[in-house]
Chain A
Amino acid sequence: MGFLSEQPLDLAKLVAQVASPERGGIACFLGVVRDHHEGRAVLRLEYSVYAAMAEAECARVVAEAEAKWEVRVVLEHRTGTLEVGDAAVAIAAAAAHRDAAFAACRYVIEQVKRRVPIWKREAFADGTVAWVDPTGAGKPAERRPDAAPEVPAAPDPAGHTDWGV
């Protein structure tokens, strides 16, 4: 396995892993920690992961992409604490032609965000921290680091039990 990495991601290394003489197109995606979230300044992100399932789910996503298109795909996701500008996820997809490479790369990042059990807590410039909830359901689970934990936000009621591809 090894889709999770505690070390900085190296896109060039991933490109080298998928490159071969018959593959004329290599599409890459690099997801990077941005400096703001909903108008607030972000200092860093702390990733939390269900490692055993994340590895299994990443393997399933890559296998699906390689079954849908004639591609070779590699994927790595960071864990631990990341600063603004650090790469959080890196994908390289290589195919004979660009269409399959782009399609597979896009498929993999969308499925990773939808299915892989990884969470991140943002540390804001104003000293607060909050778990990121991309579903936007409920209020943000924001709290001071020294405050009692808040009730987590409710999940998106729609469609979250259907993981079909």
Chain B
Amino acid sequence: MTVSTASTVTVRVLLFASYAEAVGQASLTLTLPAPATVSAVLRQLRSLPAGARLPERPLCAVNLAHARLDTPVSAGDEIAILPPLAGG
């Protein structure tokens, strides 16, 4: 288990709908080297055994707002990986 220090960033990652089914879980905690971006979160996620099923460039959100892949992430942030939206 990695201990979060000033040189690492621990974030909560949420998966939804088809992505949650593909990975087999709806939430997990990841610890990354600081400074980190959404892209780094995705890279680590896709390196997990079931994470390779996720696309390289999915829609993402940070703390309830749409985010770009180069958006920085901070300790405690909530990162969501969103399948193609289908509301309405």
Q: What residues of chain A have their CB less than 8 Å away from a CB belonging to chain B? A: 31, 47-50, 52-54, 56-57, 77, 88-89, 109, 112-121, 131-135, 137, 141, 149-157, 160-161, 163
Known A-B contacts A117-B16, A121-B17, A161-B68; A156 and B22 likewise in contact (beta carbons under 8 Å): no
- CA of A118 to CA of B16, assembled, Å: 9
Smallest beta-carbon distance A25→chain B, Å: 23
30 contacts between A and B (CB under 8 A): A48-B16, A50-B61, A53-B61, A56-B65, A115-B66, A118-B87, A119-B16, A119-B85, A119-B87, A120-B86, A121-B17, A131-B18, A131-B83, A131-B86, A132-B86, A133-B83, A134-B85, A149-B22, A152-B18, A152-B21, A152-B83, A153-B18, A155-B57, A155-B59, A155-B83, A155-B84, A160-B57, A160-B59, A161-B66, A163-B66
